[in-house]
Amino acid sequence: MRHARRRVVRRVTRLAAVGGLLLGGTMVAQAAMADETPRASAGPLAAGGAGGPGAAVVARLGPARTAGSWIGADGKPVVAVTDEAAARAVRRTGATAKVVRHSMDELRSATATLGSAPRVPGTAWAVDYRTNRVVVRADRTVSSGDWSRLTGVAARIGGFVHMERTKGAFTTRLNGALPMLSTGGRCSAGFNVTDGRSDFILTAGHCGPAGSVWFSDTRGDRQLGSTVNSAFPGSDFSLVQYAGGKAGAGADVVAVGGGKGVRITGAADPAVGQRVFRSGSTSGLRDGQVTALNATVNYPEGTVTGLVETTVCAEPGDSGGPLFSEGVALGVTSGGNGDCTTGGTTFFQPVTKALSTLGVRLIVSGQDAGGVPASPAPSATAPQGGMAPSAASPGFTAPVTGGGEDDTLLARLTDTRNVGPGLLVVAGSLIALVATRYIRAEQDRKAYQRYYSATWG
């Protein structure tokens, strides 16, 4: 019986040692791959972004002869113009021209008139470049009387103002993109930013006013930080200063679920037609397309202007979560209607405006939290890449570390950066195997001596 127990112990020890070798080898291999320089992410698909051919010709021709630009299905920029001479100028740049009736000056005048009319909560409007009209939407909370009055305002502007009813209600999404909790509800972290001295979370302004305290767990044991600057309504962004002053490791990564994330390399403005991705603590990673820029939404709490309109779905709790494409930060989640079962419209605060107003910069790949960038990152003024919207991806993937409830011992052991611990596990396992083999040999030798001593006297 004693010999049987010894054999079981030896087998368990050998199995544990072999398992340790496999785990250690995996840790070292993953760390080696993680240390490789990530592939460069393409810039956002911005036909009308600064630096692109669409934007250059629009700036040269002016708003009286152009009416916006967007990305075509083939990834090439399309520019709306009001005359054939302008169309020829667009084609010479390699972009596609579309002759339309109404100029950007007319479209902007229409939105200004709508904005000066009595405010109606539950309404939103934006310029649709592709149809050359202003689209006004009203949700189910808008009364028939308010709808009739707003329709009258639209009729006086002109036939290019299109009125439509929409399902659901336009609301902020209070209650990634890791969860942030306070007494006011739940939001999602957006992007990590820094002013060179302290690190912050950039999130939505409606999540809470200055002074709001945020936690990363429901028990209130793990304080993230507190809101030090907030803008809402009007705009929709805020800064949450980390309680410890620094964002820590993985500050350039936004969570997309399953312990994975996307590495952020810079910031830019999106373009109409661009495929974009949003991450949030409620509904995870979702994608859609930019349908309009400079949108206005009349939330129950107040009016927000200058928003990005998209077909990406969102749900309560996704507020403040990041909007990005090809690893480039584009915005933070503001609000919308619908959900991720039936779909809907979601609006985002452009990240470039928030960074400029707050005087902070993104913590990006190649930059330590709170430090100075090791190399220039893409910005809103960088030349834009051209690819079909369907070919766009979230960006370079990376592991998510820290900040969440899933920061277990196994997660820490299998962190791809742990070359040292991986080597230690390998070394310890080898020692265990050698020790097990030595003990077994020594036991066999003693048994051999006992047997022959009894045999030969």
Residues carrying an active site annotation: 206, 236, 319
187, β-bridge pairs: 180
The residue whose two tokens read 């950039």 is 202
What's the Rg (C-alpha) of the chain? 29
- Residue 203 to residue 360: CA distance in whole angstroms: 13
End-to-end CA distance of the chain: 26
The 3 state secondary structure assigned to 179-191 is EEEECCEEEECCE
- Residue 2 to residue 206: CA distance in whole angstroms: 69
Quickly count: other Cβ atoms within 10 Å of residue 221's Cβ.
8
Under 8 Å between Cβ of 191 and 178:
no
Q: Which residues contact 160 (CB under 8 A, 6 or more apart)?
A: 101, 102, 106, 107, 110, 132, 133, 134
Quickly count: other Cβ atoms within 10 Å of residue 216's Cβ.
20
